[in-house]
Amino acid sequence: MNKRPPRSGEKVEKIQNTLLVDGNALFKTGFFGAKDEYNSNGKHIGGVYQFLTMLRKLLTEDLYHRVYVFWDGEYSGLLRYQIYEPYKSDRGKDYINGTKPIDVSEMEQIMMIWNYLDEMYVRQLRNNIIEGDDFIAYYCLNKKPNEKITICTNDTDMAQLINEDVRIYYLHLKNYVDKANFSSYFCYIPENAALIKGMIGDTADSIKGIKGLGIKTLVTLFPMLTERKVVINEIIEDAKRQQEERIVEKKKPLMVLTNIVDCVTTGVQGNKLYEINDKLVNLKNPLMTEEGIEQLKQLTEGSLNFTDRELKAVFKMMEKDGLDKKIGDYRYPDYLVPFKKLISREK
């Protein structure tokens, strides 16, 4: 049934569009994708230039009332490390002394981006132990009823956050992914993203899954993953049924089905793999602290100090860093128009 039009004088709640940026993902994409971008002083500025240019593109393509950038801190991931010690071990994460970029230029450019965004009224948050993904997930789970969210990332884990009000701009796909076009890019529905990752593991984060199980095999064996939300007990019971049918039909049992039923993994999780991996990958239960929740509340509900920020300072910063020369086709004041519009909305 169609909703009735608002009566005269009746208050209509306006839609608020919000952009949530995975800062580290966007920076890494730019930093390693623009290795040859140097200023006239021979200083690498590719990460800064690409970050701002990508953010500008998103602000040009759609109207956002608020923009938030979430960064990983020196000990981010510690809450998952406490659950599963191999977490991100292949990335050289140091949960004892803190993790910093190995490349000095990387560290410098992240700080430069922070300063640019700060001047342009982009709200940012970094917590020592909470990952940016968890801040983004917590925000989505507690969004306003009239809020539409776009997430900018290249992390496929965040697919589980997609719904009628949340879409993702995937950097590696260079496109927006929502419920309507999700099947064009993935072989399952977003509601099963966490379950699938919990079963097959995640090599990027050093999370082991069921031995011998990959996503193609999983979806082939259990096609319901492409149709409706599924829970792990359904998978286990169906694996038992399929194995029994194979035995009755005198077919060779599939080892991977046995591994699913018996929870066989090469990881340290043992028979608690499903339980442990769910805690690691399920963003519907983000790993937060009371301090982190309070920081996010202050970030979203607090007002910005307008007296300490001005766009003129950004012009000077760009000249100093040589970004004005890299912009090329635009005069850099024109380049900053989308940011200027964001500033006016914040004010």
Contacts with 278 (C-beta within 8 Å, 6 or more apart), sequence order: 194, 198, 232
Q: Which residue has the higher pLDDT, 333 or 117?
A: 117
Instruction: Determine contact, residues 29/21, Cβ cutoff 8 Å.
Output: no
Ordered alpha helix ranges (H), 15-45: 23-33
CA distance 336 to 317: 13
Q: Which residues contact 27 (CB under 8 A, 6 or more apart)?
A: 47, 51, 109, 110, 113
CATH assignment of the domain containing 231 = 1.10.150
CA angle 111/85/214 to nearest 5° reads 95
Instruction: Point out the domain boundary residue: 262, 281, 300.
Output: 281
CA distances from 13 to 10, 68, 290, 342, 346 (A): 10, 22, 31, 20, 18
Backbone angles phi, psi at 175, to 5 degrees: -160, 160
Q: What integer pLDDT is reported at residue 36 of this predicted model? A: 87
Q: Let me know whether 175 and 322 are in one domain.
A: yes
Q: 123 and 261: one domain?
A: no
Residue 8 located in a structural domain? no
pLDDT at residue 306, as a whole number: 67
pLDDT tens-place string over residues 211-253: 999 999 999 999 999 999 999 999 999 999 999 999 999 999 9
22 neighbors 152 (Cβ within 8 angstroms): yes
Q: What is the pLDDT of residues 58-108, one digit of tens each?
A: 999 999 999 999 999 999 999 999 999 999 988 878 898 888 777 888 999
Q: In terms of C-beta distances under 8 Å and separation of at least 24 residues, what long-range contacts does 32-35 make, across chains too?
A: none
**Residue 84: both structure tokens together:** 């599963």
Tokens of 268: 């340290």
To which residue do tokens 């635009």 refer?
A: 330
DSSP run (H or E) holding 47:
helix 46-61
Shared domain for 135 and 235, answered yes or no, is: no
How many structural domains is the chain composed of?
2
The set of residues, in sequence order, having a beta carbon less than 8 Å from that of 245 and lying 6+ positions away, is: none
Considering the domain architecture, whether residues 321 and 200 belong to the same structural domain is answered as no
Q: Which domain holds residue 218?
A: 193-281
> 173 and 253 share a domain?
no
Q: Cβ-count burial of 60 within 10 angstroms (0-12 exposed, 13-18 middle, 19+ buried)?
A: exposed
Identify whether 339 is part of a domain.
no
Tell me, yes or no, whether 341 lies in a domain: no
DSSP state of 46: H
Q: With respect to residue 176, please indicate whether it lies within any of the assigned structural domains.
A: yes
Q: Give the H or E element holding residue 69.
A: strand 66-72
Q: What is the pLDDT of residues 21-54, one digit of tens each?
A: 999 999 999 998 888 889 988 999 999 999 999 9
